[in-house]
Amino acid sequence: MTRKRRMFDIEMPAEESAAPVEVAPAPTETFPAGKTARRGPMATAITEAAQSARERQDIEAQIRAENDALAHEHVRLKKLGLVMDLVPVDQVETWKLVRDRSKAPDPELADLVQSIRTLGLSNPIRLEARSDGRFELIQGFRRLAAYRTLLAETGDDRWARIPAVVAEPGEQLERLYRLMVDENLVRKDISFAEMAQLALDYAADPQTAETDPDKVVAQLFASAGYQKRSYVRSFIKLLDRIGKHLKYAPAIPRALGLTLLQKIEVEPVLIDILREDLGRWDDRSEAEELSILRRIAGAGEEGAEPAAPTATRLAKPAAAPGKAKTSFQIHRREGAAKCTAANGRLEIRLPRDFSVIDRRRLEEAVRRMLDQLDG
């Protein structure tokens, strides 16, 4: 059974004749002077949230601006080589520059190792970043060697990373050499033979433009005085003539090297004599090699004859009487005083200018020393 829908006829008034609906005005409240309408909790929360969001955005904008400024400053300082970092020692290479240090074992490295072990590193090394993530050493060869020695001896991870100033790649090779050379020029233990060998190696390096060692001296050692550059050029000539026969060229004193060069330039046959003398004594020490050089240079009154071989050198003939010598060092505040005593000679070498001492004081001091030796 279906239900019938009941239909109703509803008559709607025409729009034109619709009477306007009157809307009652919102009630108004009056508040005492100095007071405002109280806001609801929801409106207050919305307002506070909006204000907090604006403040947070302002703070974030300030932080981003400060970070951007710091990042730009970091990049600027890094380009200037003024940013220090801790760099793993196994990521540092030493191939780009020919070092101005002798490749022979450094007898003073132990002192530097002990100093760093006790006091730490006071001066960071200088590196250049490479595109493969590794670094090339510019300055600080001995400091890097000391850190590697400490790491090998102790296994302590604190020696695995070394403080370093890292510069961006792109520096001219000539400037990198100058940075290395100028740092070592202020060191008193860099020898003229080491500086001369650097000039020779630089001239032979296919990556450098200059091939004349004399011009290299003017380029690399521009910070040195004219006289020092002249000495370096003299040692270049000396090494060019006899360098391949020497084992301890860096130990040659300036005066001996200059005298030896003058001798062999006048008497070239001395080069053959020197080669024969050195060739017969392959296991010679530094002091023994210097003794041979002094004899060839005719510095008998200032230098000693070659020292006698020790008892373990059975293949060498026994030394003649009066040819032995004694060498030792005395540590003073000026540095290490190197003393050599031989037949008819007593020599003291110390980084001090004895010529400024009054002659009478110097004479009296030497007299007292000799009197004590007699007593």
pLDDT at 304: 41
pLDDT at 15: 54
pLDDT at 129: 84
State the Cα–Cα distance between residues 347 and 338, nearest whole angstrom.
8
CA 300 from chain centre, in angstroms, equals 41
Residue the block writes with tokens 């990049």: 75
State the Cα–Cα distance between residues 159 and 268, nearest whole angstrom.
51
Q: Which of 202, 197, 214 is nearest to 176 (CA)?
A: 202
pLDDT at 88: 93
CB count, 10 Å around CB of 362? 13
State the Cα–Cα distance between residues 138 and 184, nearest whole angstrom.
12
pLDDT at 83: 67
State the Cα–Cα distance between residues 329 and 36, nearest whole angstrom.
95
pLDDT in tens, the chain (375 residues): 555 555 555 565 555 555 555 555 555 555 555 555 566 777 777 777 788 888 888 788 778 877 777 666 656 666 665 667 889 999 998 877 765 555 556 666 788 888 888 888 878 888 888 888 899 887 788 889 899 999 999 999 999 999 988 877 766 677 777 767 766 665 556 788 888 888 888 888 777 888 898 888 888 888 778 888 899 999 999 999 998 889 888 889 999 999 999 999 988 888 888 888 888 877 888 888 998 899 888 854 444 443 433 333 333 444 444 456 787 878 777 777 788 887 778 888 877 777 778 777 888 888 888 888 876
Measure Cα distances from 207 to 204, 210, 226 in Å: 9, 9, 27
Domains in the chain, please, with CATH? 64-171 (3.90.1530.10), 325-375 (no CATH)
325 in Cβ contact with 341 (< 8 Å): yes
Q: Which residues pair with 345 in a beta bridge?
A: 342
Please state the three-class secondary structure of the chain as a single string.
Answer: CCCCCCCCCCCCCCCCCCCCCCCCCCCCCCCCCCCCCCCCHHHHHHHHHHHHHHHHHHHHHHHHHHHHHHHHHHHHHHHCCCCEEEEEHHHEECCCCCCCCCCCCCCCHHHHHHHHHHHCCCCCEEEEECCCCCEEEEECHHHHHHHHHHHHHHCCHHHCEEEEEEECCCCCHHHHHHHHHHHHHCCCCCCHHHHHHHHHHHHHCCCCCCCCHHHHHHHHCCCCCHHHHHHHHHHHHHHHHHHHHCCCHHHCCHHHHHHHHHHHHHCCHHHHHHHHHHHCCCCCCHHHHHHHHHHHCCCCCCCCCCCCCCCCCCCCCCCCCCCCEEEEEEEECCEEEEEEEECCEEEEECCCCHHHCCHHHHHHHHHHHHHHHHC
